[in-house]
C-alpha cells in the first residue's frame, strides 16, 4: 500500500477584525469599570481611560520574567482578558452601588445653646447710663479703702458723733485718688455737694436728737453721691443719690481685680510698707504701755482715746468692717466710672391748645383767690367772731386746716410739673401765657402757705411746741422756698432749678439739725411756763440731751421732774469721746453740777389742759 501524497494545506490567516474586536472589547470594559473609580477619586474620564489602557501593558511587562521569556500567544491573552472581565465588572458595580455603606466620621457635637433662653436686650436708657470702664485702681485708693474699713470697725460700734467725720476722711481720699486716676476734675457744684455733706456730718457731733441726726446722715450720703456723679438734670438729681447702691457689685470686682494685680507684683513693692506698719504698731504698744504704767493721768487719757474692742463684739465689728469696705469701694468706683444719669431724657408731653390748657388753671387760681379773701376777712375781722359763728375753739380751728393746707402746697407742686409738661409751646405768646398763669398760682400758694403757718402758730400759742409741730412747720417753710425758686426759674430760666432744689433741701436739713427741735421745744415751753405757768412735764421725758440747758432754768421741784427721763437715759452708759455729741457732754456737765433730785414726787405736774393730745398727733 502506497502512501498518498500529502497535499499541503494553506495556513489559516487570522481574522484581523475578530482579533482586533476581541482585544478592543476588554479594553472598553476595563475603561468602563475604571471610570467610576476614577470619578470617585476625583480623576477625569480621560485619566481613567489612560489608566485602563495601561493595565494590559503593565500586565505584559510584569509577565516578562526575563529576557528569555516568550511572549504569550494571542489566544492565551484573549482568554485571560475574558476571564478577568467578570471580576472587573463586579468590582465596578459594587463601587457604584448606592446601597454600599460609605465610611463616616464622628458625629457632630450637639449645640446646647439652641435650648438656652435668649437674653433680652437691655433697655435703651440702661445702655445710655452705663458707665465707661474704670481706670486701674491705684495703690493709694486701696490703702484709703482699707483705712476706712478699719476705722469703721473700731469707731462706729458705739454710736454716731465725731467718728462719722473721722471715717469720712479716708473714704473721701480714696474717691479723690480714683477720680484723679480716671482724669476727672472737681467742678464748682461738686465742691458744693462735698462741702455740704461734710457740714451735715457736723450735726451728729453737735446734737443728741435722733431725728436730726438721721436726716443729716442720710442727706450727707445723698450729697456725697451727687458729688461723685456730677448730676445736673432732674433724673440725675433724683436718681443720683441712689447711685452708690448700684455700684457695690461692680466695685467689689474692680477692687479684687486691682488687688490681684498688685499682689502679683514683686514683693519689694509692698513688703516694706507692711514691715513699717508692724514696727509702728509694736512701738506704740510697748511704749504706750510703759507710759500708761508710769502716769495715771496719761493712762486715763490713753484709755479714753483708744477704742474698746472685745471678743464678744467680734461679729458686730466684722460687720462694720465689711460695711466700711464696701462703702469706700463703691465711692471710689463711682468716682472713677459714675453712672450717667444725666443721659436720661424726659420728653415733654404733647402740647395742648391754649384754651384746653389754661382754663383749668385759671379756675384753680380763682378758687385760691376766693379762699385767700376769706382768710383776709377773718384776719381783719378777728378770730373771736369766727369762733362765735362756727362754735369752734382755737385749737379746733387751728388743727382743722393745717394738714389740708399742707397737702394743698404739695399738690400745687405736682400741678405745676404736669402743667409745664403739657404747656403750649408755639411762640412767645404761649410762653407769656404759661408764665402768667403759673406765676399767679405760685403767688397764691405762698399766701396759702402763710395761712397754714399762722394756724400752726395759733395752736402752739395755746398748747406749746412739740417735735412734730416743729418738723411739719419746717417742711411747710421748705415747700414755700421751693415755690419761690419755681417763680424765679419761670422768670429767668430754669436750668439751675434741679440743683437749686436739692441744695435747698440739704440746707433745710442742716438748719433743722443745727437749731435742734428739742432745744426749740424746751425753750418755747419754758418761756410759756414763765408767762402762763402751764407746762407738760411728761412730754419732756422723751426729749434728748439737747433740752437740758433750757430745762435747767425751771425752778425745783419742777426742774427735777422735767429732767428725770433725760438723766436716766444719760446714766445708762458712758460713751467714748468719738461717739458722744457736744450736747450730751454739756448735759452731763450740767447734771453733774446740779444733780436731779429723784426723791421728788412728780405726780400732778402733768399738763393742766386735757386737749394736749388732740391735734392729730401734733
Residue 606's SS3 state is coil
pLDDT for 535: 85
- Residues 137, 178: Cα–Cα separation, whole Å: 7
Residue 30 has pLDDT above 90, yes or no: no
Nearest to 332 by CA among 180, 222, 201: 180
Pseudo-torsion of CA 582, 586, 589, 590, nearest 10°?
Answer: -160
- Residues 103, 140: Cα–Cα separation, whole Å: 66
Say which residues have a Cβ less than 8 Å from residue 212's Cβ, sequence separation at least 6.
Answer: 203, 509, 512, 513, 516, 517
**pLDDT tens digits, 382-411:** 666 666 666 766 666 666 667 788 889 899
The backbone torsions φ and ψ at residue 269, rounded to the nearest 5 degrees and listed phi first, read -85, -35
* Residue 514's pLDDT band (cuts 50, 70, 90): very high
C-alpha cell of residue 572:
445708762
The number of angstroms, rounded, from the C-alpha of 351 to the middle of its chain's C-alpha atoms is 34
Residue 485 has pLDDT above 70, yes or no: yes
* Residue 17's pLDDT band (cuts 50, 70, 90): very low
C-alpha cell of residue 164:
462719722
Nearest to 326 by CA among 140, 131, 153: 153
69: left (phi over 0), alpha (psi -120 to 50) or beta: beta
Nearest to 334 by CA among 139, 179, 167: 179
Neighbour count for residue 106 (Cβ, 10 Å): 5
* Alpha helix (H) residue ranges in 264-295: 271-294
Which one has a higher pLDDT value, 335 or 76?
A: 335
- Residues 448, 440: Cα–Cα separation, whole Å: 13
Q: Cell 470686682 identifies what position? A: 253
**pLDDT tens digits, 544-586:** 999 999 999 999 888 999 999 899 988 877 788 889 999 999 9
pLDDT for 382: 62
Print burial letters for 16-48: b (CB count within 10 Å at least 16), e (below 16): eeeeeebeeebeebbbebbbbbbeeeeeeeeeb
**pLDDT tens digits, 418-457:** 999 899 988 889 989 999 999 999 999 999 998 888 888 8
Q: Where are the beta strands (DSSP E) in 124-220?
A: none
Question: What own/partner pairs with CB < 8 Å and gap ≥ 24 does 147-150 have?
Answer: 148/174, 148/324, 148/325, 148/327, 148/328, 149/321, 149/322, 149/324, 149/325, 149/328, 150/321, 150/324
* Residue 101's pLDDT band (cuts 50, 70, 90): low
- Residues 259, 254: Cα–Cα separation, whole Å: 9
Which one has a higher pLDDT value, 514 or 267?
A: 514
What's the whole-number average pLDDT of the chain? 78
* Residue 283's pLDDT band (cuts 50, 70, 90): confident
pLDDT for 388: 67
* Residue 616's pLDDT band (cuts 50, 70, 90): very low
Residue 39 has pLDDT above 80, yes or no: no
pLDDT for 77: 46
Say which residues have a Cβ less than 8 Å from residue 306's Cβ, sequence separation at least 6.
Answer: none
Q: Cell 454739756 identifies what position? A: 586
- Residues 429, 418: Cα–Cα separation, whole Å: 20
Which one has a higher pLDDT value, 416 or 8?
A: 416
DSSP type of residue 242? G
Distances (CA, A) of 432 to 339, 425, 428: 37, 10, 6
Residue 535's SS3 state is coil
C-alpha cell of residue 204:
451728729
pLDDT for 230: 86
The backbone torsions φ and ψ at residue 85, rounded to the nearest 5 degrees and listed phi first, read -65, -50
Residue 512 has pLDDT above 70, yes or no: yes
Burial of 598 (0-12, 13-18, 19+ CB in 10 A): exposed
Residue 602 has pLDDT above 80, yes or no: no
Nearest to 601 by CA among 560, 563, 568: 560
pLDDT for 112: 64
In the chain, the percentage of residues whose pLDDT exceeds 70 is 71
pLDDT for 548: 95
Q: Which of 82-96, 198-212, 439-453, 552-566 has the lowest mean pLDDT?
A: 82-96
Cβ atoms of 548 and 208 within 8 Å: the answer is no
**pLDDT tens digits, 53-63:** 444 443 344 44
- Residues 117, 338: Cα–Cα separation, whole Å: 31
DSSP assignment of 82-108, as one string?
HHHHHHHHHHHHHHT-TTS-----PPP
Q: What is the CA radius of gyration of the chain?
A: 49
Which one has a higher pLDDT value, 523 or 272?
A: 523
In the chain, the percentage of residues whose pLDDT exceeds 90 is 37
DSSP assignment of 375-418, as one string?
HHHHHHH-HHHHHHHH---HHHHHHHHHHHHHHHHHHHHHHHHH
Say which residues have a Cβ less than 8 Å from residue 184's Cβ, sequence separation at least 6.
Answer: 335, 336
Residue 166 has pLDDT above 70, yes or no: yes
C-alpha cell of residue 228:
461723685
Cβ atoms of 160 and 331 within 8 Å: the answer is no
* Residue 298's pLDDT band (cuts 50, 70, 90): low
Cβ atoms of 502 and 200 within 8 Å: the answer is no
* Residue 114's pLDDT band (cuts 50, 70, 90): low
The dihedral through the CA atoms of 520, 524, 529, 530 has a sign that is positive
- Residues 482, 500: Cα–Cα separation, whole Å: 9
Neighbour count for residue 233 (Cβ, 10 Å): 17
DSSP assignment of 287-300, as one string?
HHHHHHHH-HHHHH
Burial of 572 (0-12, 13-18, 19+ CB in 10 A): exposed
Residue 417 has pLDDT above 80, yes or no: yes
Cis-peptide into 549, omega within 30 deg: no
Amino acid at each position: 500500500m502506497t502512501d498518498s501524497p500529502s497535499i499541503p494545506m494553506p495556513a489559516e490567516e487570522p481574522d484581523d477584525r475578530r482579533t482586533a474586536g476581541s482585544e478592543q472589547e476588554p479594553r472598553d470594559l476595563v475603561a468602563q469599570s475604571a471610570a467610576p473609580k476614577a470619578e470617585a477619586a476625583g480623576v477625569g474620564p480621560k485619566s481613567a481611560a489612560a489608566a485602563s489602557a495601561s493595565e494590559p501593558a503593565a500586565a505584559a511587562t510584569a509577565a516578562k520574567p526575563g529576557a528569555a521569556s516568550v511572549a504569550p500567544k494571542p489566544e492565551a491573552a484573549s482568554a485571560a482578558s475574558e476571564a478577568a472581565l467578570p471580576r472587573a465588572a463586579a468590582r465596578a458595580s459594587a463601587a457604584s452601588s448606592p446601597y454600599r455603606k460609605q465610611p463616616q466620621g464622628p458625629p457632630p457635637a450637639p449645640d446646647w445653646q439652641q435650648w438656652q433662653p435668649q437674653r433680652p436686650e437691655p433697655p435703651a436708657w440702661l445702655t445710655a447710663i452705663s458707665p465707661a470702664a474704670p481706670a486701674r485702681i491705684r495703690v493709694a485708693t486701696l490703702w484709703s479703702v482699707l483705712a476706712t474699713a478699719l476705722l469703721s470697725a473700731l469707731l462706729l460700734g458705739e454710736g454716731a458723733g465725731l467718728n462719722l467725720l473721722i471715717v469720712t476722711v479716708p473714704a473721701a481720699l480714696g474717691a479723690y485718688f480714683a477720680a484723679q486716676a480716671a482724669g476727672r476734675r472737681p467742678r464748682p457744684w461738686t465742691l458744693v455737694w462735698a462741702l455740704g455733706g461734710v457740714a451735715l456730718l457736723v450735726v451728729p457731733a453737735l446734737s443728741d436728737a435722733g431725728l436730726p441726726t438721721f436726716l443729716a446722715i442720710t442727706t450727707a450720703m445723698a450729697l456725697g453721691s451727687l458729688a461723685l456723679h456730677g448730676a445736673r438734670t432732674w433724673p440725675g438729681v433724683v436718681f443720683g443719690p441712689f447711685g452708690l447702691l448700684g455700684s457695690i457689685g461692680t466695685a467689689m470686682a474692680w477692687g479684687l481685680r486691682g488687688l490681684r494685680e498688685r499682689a502679683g507684683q514683686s514683693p519689694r513693692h509692698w513688703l516694706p510698707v507692711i514691715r513699717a506698719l508692724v514696727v509702728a504698731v509694736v512701738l506704740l504698744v510697748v511704749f504706750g504701755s510703759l507710759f500708761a504704767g508710769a502716769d495715771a493721768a496719761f493712762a486715763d487719757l490713753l484709755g479714753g482715746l483708744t477704742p474698746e474692742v472685745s471678743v464678744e463684739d467680734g461679729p458686730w465689728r466684722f460687720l462694720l468692717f465689711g460695711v466700711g469696705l464696701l462703702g469706700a469701694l463703691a465711692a471710689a468706683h463711682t468716682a472713677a466710672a459714675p453712672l450717667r444719669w444725666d443721659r436720661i431724657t424726659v420728653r415733654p408731653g404733647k402740647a395742648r391748645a391754649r384754651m384746653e390748657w389754661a382754663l383749668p388753671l385759671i379756675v384753680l387760681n380763682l378758687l385760691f383767690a376766693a379762699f385767700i379773701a376769706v382768710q383776709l376777712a377773718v384776719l381783719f375781722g378777728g378770730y373771736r367772731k369766727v369762733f362765735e359763728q362756727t362754735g369752734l375753739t382755737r385749737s379746733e380751728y387751728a388743727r382743722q386746716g393745717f394738714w389740708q393746707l399742707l397737702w394743698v402746697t404739695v399738690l400745687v407742686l405736682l400741678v405745676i410739673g404736669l402743667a409745664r409738661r403739657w404747656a403750649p409751646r408755639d411762640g412767645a405768646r404761649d410762653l407769656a401765657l404759661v408764665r402768667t398763669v403759673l406765676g399767679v398760682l405760685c403767688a397764691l400758694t405762698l399766701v396759702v402757705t402763710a395761712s397754714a403757718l399762722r394756724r400752726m402758730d395759733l395752736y402752739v400759742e395755746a398748747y406749746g411746741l412739740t417735735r412734730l409741730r416743729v418738723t411739719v412747720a419746717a417742711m411747710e417753710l421748705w415747700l414755700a422756698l421751693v415755690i419761690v425758686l419755681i417763680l424765679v426759674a419761670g422768670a429767668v430760666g430754669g436750668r439751675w432749678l434741679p440743683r437749686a432744689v436739692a441744695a435747698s433741701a440739704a440746707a433745710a436739713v442742716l438748719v433743722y439739725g443745727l437749731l435742734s427741735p428739742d432745744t426749740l421745744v424746751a425753750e418755747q415751753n419754758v418761756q410759756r411756763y414763765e408767762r402762763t405757768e402751764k407746762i407738760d412735764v411728761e412730754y419732756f421725758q422723751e426729749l434728748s440731751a439737747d433740752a437740758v440747758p433750757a430745762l435747767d432754768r425751771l425752778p425745783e421741784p419742777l426742774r427735777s421732774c422735767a429732767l428725770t427721763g433725760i438723766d436716766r437715759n444719760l446714766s445708762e452708759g458712758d460713751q467714748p469721746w468719738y461717739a458722744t455729741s457736744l450736747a450730751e457732754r454739756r448735759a452731763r456737765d450740767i447734771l453733774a453740777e446740779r444733780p436731779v433730785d429723784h426723791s421728788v414726787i412728780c405726780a400732778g405736774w402733768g399738763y393742766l389742759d386735757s386737749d394736749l393730745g388732740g391735734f392729730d398727733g401734733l
